A and B are shown apart, each in its own frame.
Chain A
Amino acid sequence: MPLMLKNGFVVRDKVVQTNIIIDNGKIADITDELPQGAADIEVLDCTGLHILPGLIDMHVHLREPGYEYKEDLKSGSRAAVQGGVTSICSMANTNPPVDNSSIVSWIKRRSDEIGLCDILPYAALTKGMKGEELTEIGDILSAGACGFSDDGRPVASSEVMRRGLEYTRFFGSFIACHEEDAPLFNGGSMHEGRVSAECGIKGAPAEAESIMVARDIELVRLTGGRIHLCHISSRRSVEHIWRAKEAGLNVTAEVTPNHLTLTEEMCRSYNSFSKVNPPLRSEADRLALLDALKSGVIDCIASDHAPHHLDDKLKEFDYAAFGMIGLQLIVPLISRLVEDGVISWSEFANITAANPAKILNLSDRGVIARGKVADIAVIDSKCEYIFDESINVSKSQNTPYWKEKLKGKAVYTIKNGKIVNTGS
Chain B
Amino acid sequence: MKDLISAKELTKDDIYSILDTAESLHEINRRDIKKTPALRGKTVVNLFFENSTRTRTSFEIAAKRLSADAVNFAASSSSTQKGETLLDTIKNIEAMQADILVLRHEASGAAKFIAERSGTCVINAGDGINEHPTQALLDIFTIRRVKKELERLTVTIMGDIAHSRVARSNIWAMRTLGMRVKLFGPPTLLPNDPKALACEIAADKREAVQSDVIITLRIQRERQGKLLIPSLREYSRFFGLNSEDLKYAPKDVLLLHPGPVNRGVELSSSLADGANSAILDQVENGVSVRMAVMCALRRQ
Contact = CB atoms under 8 A, between A and B. Distances in A.
A134 interface: yes
Interface string A273-313: 00000000000000000000000000000000000000000
A61 to B, nearest CB: 24
A135 interface: yes
A167 interface: yes
Interface in B214-252: 226-228, 230-231, 233-234, 237-238
B186 A133 contact: no
Interface string A132-158: 111111110000000000000000000
B81 interface: no
Interface string B31-74: 00000000000000000000000000000000000000000000
Contact of B187 (A132, A159, A170): A170
Contact of B237 (A139, A159, A160, A222): A139
Contact of B230 (A167, A169, A223): A167
B189 to A, nearest CB: 9
B264 to A, nearest CB: 16
Contacts of B231: 136
B192 interface: yes
A136 B238 CA distance: 11
B175 to A, nearest CB: 24
A163 interface: yes
A166 interface: yes
Nearest to A165: B187
A363 to B, nearest CB: 21
Task: Report which residue of B226, B227, B231 has the largest number of chain A beta carbons within 10 angstroms of its beta carbon.
Answer: B227
Contacts of A137: 230, 234
A127 B227 CA distance: 11
Interface residues of B, number: 13
B188 interface: yes
A132 B225 CA distance: 11
Given A136-B234, A138-B238, A166 B186 contact: yes
Contacts of B226: 132-133
A133 B230 contact: yes
B237 A138 contact: yes
Contacts of A160: 227
B66 to A, nearest CB: 46
B92 to A, nearest CB: 40
A16 B235 CA distance: 52
A136 B227 contact: no
Contact of A223 (B186, B187, B234, B237): B187
A166 B237 contact: no
Interface in A169-205: 169-170
B121 to A, nearest CB: 40
Contacts of B233: 136, 139
Contacts of A132: 226-227
A223 B233 CA distance: 24
A222 B187 contact: no
A163 B228 CA distance: 7
Nearest to A134: B230
Contact of B188 (A139, A167, A222): A167
Contacts of A134: 227, 230
Nearest to B221: A133
A169 B187 contact: yes
A350 to B, nearest CB: 32
A139 B228 contact: no
A166 B230 contact: no
A138 B204 CA distance: 13
A137 B229 CA distance: 10
Interface in A100-148: 127, 132-139
B237 A167 contact: no
Contacts of B234: 136-139
Nearest to B185: A170
A139 B231 CA distance: 10
Contacts of A138: 230, 234, 237-238
B227 A163 contact: yes
Interface string A223-247: 1000000000000000000000000
A163 B189 CA distance: 10
A310 B60 CA distance: 75
A136 B186 CA distance: 12
A183 B82 CA distance: 42
Contacts of B192: 222-223
Nearest to B229: A134
B245 to A, nearest CB: 15
A2 to B, nearest CB: 42
A140 to B, nearest CB: 9
Contacts of B227: 132-134, 159-160, 163
A147 to B, nearest CB: 16
Given A134-B230, A136-B231, A136-B233, A166 B238 contact: no
Interface in A208-223: 222-223
A222 B191 CA distance: 12
A163 B237 contact: no
Contacts of B230: 127, 133-138, 167
Contacts of A223: 187, 192
Contacts of B237: 138-139
B10 to A, nearest CB: 32
A170 B188 CA distance: 9
A222 B227 CA distance: 17
Interface string B74-108: 00000000000000000000000000000000000
Interface of A: 127, 132-139, 159-160, 163, 166-167, 169-170, 222-223
29 contacts: A127-B230, A132-B226, A132-B227, A133-B226, A133-B227, A134-B227, A134-B230, A136-B231, A136-B234, A137-B230, A137-B234, A138-B230, A138-B234, A138-B238, A139-B233, A139-B234, A139-B237, A159-B227, A160-B227, A163-B188, A163-B227, A166-B186, A166-B188, A167-B187, A169-B187, A170-B187, A222-B192, A223-B187, A223-B192
Given A139-B237, A222-B192, 4 more contacts: A138-B230, A167-B186, A167-B230, A223-B192
- The 7 A-B pairs at the shortest CB distance, nearest first, are namely A166-B187, A136-B234, A134-B230, A138-B238, A136-B230, A166-B188, A163-B227
